[in-house]
Amino acid sequence: MMRRDEVLQTLAKHRTNELVLTTMSVAQEWPAYSKSEFDFNALGTGMGHLPDMGLGLAVACPDRKVLILNGDGSMLMNLGVLVSIANTAPRNLILFVFENEIYEVTGGQPIPGCGRANFAAMAKGAGFPHTFEFAELSAFGKELPSILKLDGPVFVTVKAGPSGKPLSTKALPVKAAARALRDALTQVRR
């Protein structure tokens, strides 16, 4: 299994001007690899609802890719959004699910279906035209540039365990982060 920090570092190397939405453990590490005004850290929001927000942003900003970096525990809390995303079919949305099989931020409890749930199969069944699963960093790094160019929606499972580093709890309050993202998007449109 890969480590989350390796996956995030690889993603940051290939990232250009995409909106990147993060939550839970990923949100606590992504700022070490990216300081873009187009990052939105949703650490303090409702668990499971980052894909909802990403879908809204993908529809509102059709000329910009939206990358959603979600956890497996968060994905389980809102599986219905997979059908909504597939039905809306935003060409600019890529949903990454970091599968570590635990609720890491609440103490490491196993998620339901641990070792049996297949998120890529669920996304495929919901109607995503492109689904991927990665457990090896070299394969992920090789395929990522092509994945980022695909018309979405795209679903990517990365089997990535904890990085083994302390997680940061520093984050802008959600309202301030939302205002900052709105301001960045507004500046681009002017």
* Domain membership of residue 68 as a residue range: 2-189
pLDDT digits (tens, 9 = 90+) for 94-121: 999 999 876 766 766 777 887 888 999 9
Q: Looking at per-residue confidence, does 150 or 161 come out higher?
A: 150
> CA–CA distance from 9 to each of 2, 45, 96, 107, 112 (Å)?
12, 24, 14, 24, 28
Give the pLDDT band of residue 49 (cuts 50, 70, 90): confident
Q: Write the CB contacts of 84 (distance below 8 Å, at least 6 apart in sequence).
A: 52, 55
Question: Looking at residue 26, what is its pLDDT?
Answer: 86
- Euclidean distance between CA atoms 160 and 137, whole angstroms: 9
Q: Write the CB contacts of 29 (distance below 8 Å, at least 6 apart in sequence).
A: 4, 5, 8, 163, 165, 167, 168
Give the pLDDT band of residue 24 (cuts 50, 70, 90): confident
The yes-or-no verdict on residue 152 having pLDDT over 80 is yes
- Euclidean distance between CA atoms 128 and 34, whole angstroms: 28
| CATH of residue 167 | 3.40.50.970
The yes-or-no verdict on residue 92 having pLDDT over 90 is yes
Tally of structural domains, the chain: 1
Q: Which of 84-88, 133-137, 153-157, 171-175 has the lowest mean pLDDT?
A: 171-175
